[in-house]
A and B are shown apart, each in its own frame.
Chain A
Amino acid sequence: MAVNAIDQTRRMLSLVTYLKDRPGARVEEVARAFGISADELISDLNVLPMCGTSFRGGDLLEIDTDGERIWWRNAEALGSDTAQPLRLAADEATALLVAARAVATLPGLRESDRDALQRAVAKLETAAGESAGASSRLSVTFESEGGVFADVDRAIAERRRLWIRYYSPARDELTEREVDPIRLFAVGHTYVEAWCRLSEARRTFRLDRVAEIKLLDERSDPPPIEPRDLSAGLVQPAATDPEVVVEVGPGGRWVAEYYPHDSAEELPDGGLRITLRTPDPASLRRLALRLGPDGRITAPQELAESARDAARKALAAYGA
């Protein structure tokens, strides 16, 4: 297991403070408080007896464990200076404050939670002192639809089914469906992951595309499924999805920023040839139309033709 020395040092410094006030602390409890596994904790405990205020003076930390409880034999001898609670670093204060402020401004959050976040932020700002200063240089906004958010939140908490009217940009249509919500998450926009009773499959819905929502009395009963792993990004095309090739000029380079793609090859005019995969190529007709003079779809042929066809039909309405 790769151990980051900086993080381990940070943790061990807090561990020393923690253990000083808690003789005979239980391995399990300490690991939980520190958000680490018991094995990680034991590996820290193996390092600590090699640490001290000076190895020459023989004043090493006599910390040992029988695997269940942890004892520090010479805590008093080393004095309180070594184990006093340590101030927060700028990055530490920033990480918590920026995240807490971002969540606290989410529309639709329960008021009790918003209050708790705001109180925690205020206390943390005071405790962090000047370390809190740099946190103003980072900020995050989550987008959310307050009313929809509150209903989904309630449905999950009360295990109730939802009825939604949902907008699908790919087909430019609204569909009505009943869904069993699984979780609510925010990555820039806010989404609900749910079991869709209409398609009998897991679906992710963006809250700002929910045109209408109702809490139903039926109990939500999603089949047991692993939550999606979001770390790789929201859109994760499958290797078997059909391939689409888009050629863009310099003005259409943004496509590579917004669409996960397999490759983006530089073209001589400063443009890109972007190859991407999607389960539903027809959904990219919108993209082809949007690009206008800045790019076009070159494959598959039918998709390129359907975009041209749509444009011709639209032009007819202008008598152009």
Chain B
Amino acid sequence: MAIAKAERLMNLALCLLGARRPLTKRELRASIEAYVEAYGSGEAAAYGSGEAAAYGSGEAAAYGSGEAAAYGSGGTATSAYGSGEAAVRGPGGAGAALGRGEGATGTEESFSRMFERDKDDLRELGLVIDTVENLDGETAYVARRDSNRLPPVTLDAAEATALGLAARVWQQARLAAAASGALQKLHAAGGMPPGAIPEQGGERQLSTLEPHIPAREAAFEPLMLACRDRRPVAFDYRKSNAAHSEKRHVEPWTLECWRGHWYLAGWDRERQAERVFRLSRITGPVRSRAAAFTVPVPDQVTVRETVERWAGEGATSTARIRLRAGAGYPLRARALHTRELGDGWDELEIPYGHGLDAWLVEFGPDVVALEPAELRADVIERLRAVAQG
């Protein structure tokens, strides 16, 4: 049976962390049993000069796509994300020129792919792996002690409980795992008081609250990674009132969750303007695009204001309505003035923004819109549509 991936990754990490000098891919291959078992030690094969050139450039930026991505087209600098699709390039021109047999080249390639993926996985776990040139001019890898060490951090019991709660908030697999991973690192470093991770339903709770952050939208994870890595994306998007979706090319800035729904703010390349997208309206996959952002990311991104405007919460003026006594509590809760009319009706002054007409119609015969005339007309029109059904 093939050696399990976790064992292989663990060995690669320990090898890199334990080494006193940068190790070449050849050395790593020979040191890790899983590689030897799958691909041989590589030492007998026609190895050598072509290798360094084949795996240098483009490499440092290659992480996080989660797709098989082996880079290194023989010395040409390759963009780390190709066209957003899994980019598998090779064989290394130099290697082929050395006249290796097809079989050896194939093995070499699969090993390289696995090695690149493994390195990417370790980087996802936080390892800083630098690519350097060793004394013989070969590409070598090193996980420096100082750049990989967690600075000293000590949390008191209350702080540890607070983080323990924060770690349980995510209902999204990747972030939930990352959160527990972070706590484990803090524990391992001795930064947490003993027994500070309360189990589910734990002993001491923070207030008595259980917060949950849902992220069921399929677009969430790829967009989170794209925001993190500042990679442009493309996706099909259907505006709330549009019948069909349209392809959008976006430089993603931030994701924001409001009232349980996720929104993306970013630069829409076609529209040459900042736009906010609701993730549940993204239809189909999110694809990463090559190249960098074309517009600087602003310091302040205002997702919330845009969404509130959509939700009709940005009132621009006020309206006067008549409301049956006892009805329409939410309207009363927002009223600026309320006057009892005495005949079983009250008169209210309420904020007037986008969407008020639809909201008032919800209350049926318990509400009468009085002013402005525009609101009154909109309400009547909606009521007529319903009455005709």
Interface residues of A (CB under 8 A from B): 3-18, 21, 29, 32-35, 47-48, 50-57, 61, 78-79, 81-82, 84-96, 98-100, 102-103, 106, 109-110, 112-113, 115-117, 119-120, 123-124, 126-127, 129, 131, 134, 136-143, 152-153, 156-157, 167, 169, 172-174, 183-190, 211, 230-231, 233, 250-251, 253-254, 257, 269-271, 285-286, 288-293, 296, 304, 307-308, 310-318, 320
6 contacts between A and B (CB under 8 A): A89-B126, A103-B211, A113-B206, A139-B255, A188-B259, A314-B368
Task: Say yes or no for B32: interface residue by CB 8 A criterion.
Answer: yes
| Minimum Cβ distance to chain B for residue A49 (Å) | 10
Chain B interface, number of residues (Cβ within 8 angstroms): 132
Given the known A-B contacts A5-B6, A35-B183, are A296 and B389 also in contact in the complex, defined by CB atoms under 8 Å?
Answer: yes
**Residues of chain B lying within 8 A (CB to CB) of residue A4:** 177
User: CB within 8 Å of A: which of B91-124?
Assistant: 121-122, 124
* Residues in B neighbouring A53, C-beta threshold 8 A: 14-15, 17-19, 31
Q: How far is the CB of A16 from chain B (nearest CB, A)?
A: 8
Task: Determine the distance from Cα of A173 to Cα of B332 in the docked complex, in whole angstroms.
Answer: 12
Contact partner of A127 among B150, B162, B359, CB < 8 A? B150
Give residues in B with beta carbon < 8 Å to A: 3-7, 9-11, 13-15, 17-19, 30-33, 121-122, 124-128, 145, 147-156, 158-163, 165-167, 169-171, 174-185, 187-192, 194-197, 199, 206-214, 216, 224, 227-228, 238, 240-244, 253-261, 278, 280-281, 303-304, 326-330, 333, 358-359, 361-368, 376, 379-389
**Residues of chain A with a CB closer than 8 A to B153's CB:** 123-124, 126-127
Residues of B within 8 A of A173 (CB): 326-327, 329
In the assembly, what is the distance between CA of A5 and CA of B8, in Å? 9
- How long is the Cα–Cα vector from A275 to B121 in the complex, in angstroms? 43
Quick one: which of B32, B121, B145, B162 contacts A100, CB cutoff 8 A? B162
Beyond A34-B187, A139-B257, A315-B384, whether A292 also contacts B358 by CB under 8 A is: yes
Complex: chain A residue closest to B387, CB-CB? A311
For B210, the chain A residues whose CB sits under 8 A away are 183-186
**Cα distance, A10 to B166, chains bound together (Å):** 19
Which of B11, B191, B241 is within 8 Å of A253, CB to CB? Answer: B241
Provide the residues of chain A in CB contact with B257, threshold 8 Å.
Answer: 102, 139-141, 188
- Residues from chain A with Cβ under 8 Å of B189 in the complex: 17, 85
Closest residue of chain A to B278 (Cβ to Cβ) is A257
Q: Is the CB of A9 within 8 A of B259?
A: no
Measured CB to CB, the closest approach of chain A to B117, in angstroms, equals: 11
Which of B162, B171, B224, B304 neighbours the largest number of chain A CB atoms within 10 Å of its CB? B162
**In the assembled complex, which residues on chain A have CB atoms less than 8 Å from the CB atom of B199?**
32, 35
The docked-state distance in angstroms from the alpha carbon of A21 to that of B165 is 26
The listed residue (B155, B185, B366, B381) touching A292 by CB distance below 8 A is: B381
Q: B150 to A88, Cβ gap below 8 A?
A: yes
For the A-B complex with A116-B206, A186-B209, A291-B386 known, give 8 more contacts whose Cβ atoms are closer than 8 Å. A92-B178, A94-B178, A96-B183, A102-B211, A127-B152, A230-B212, A257-B240, A296-B386
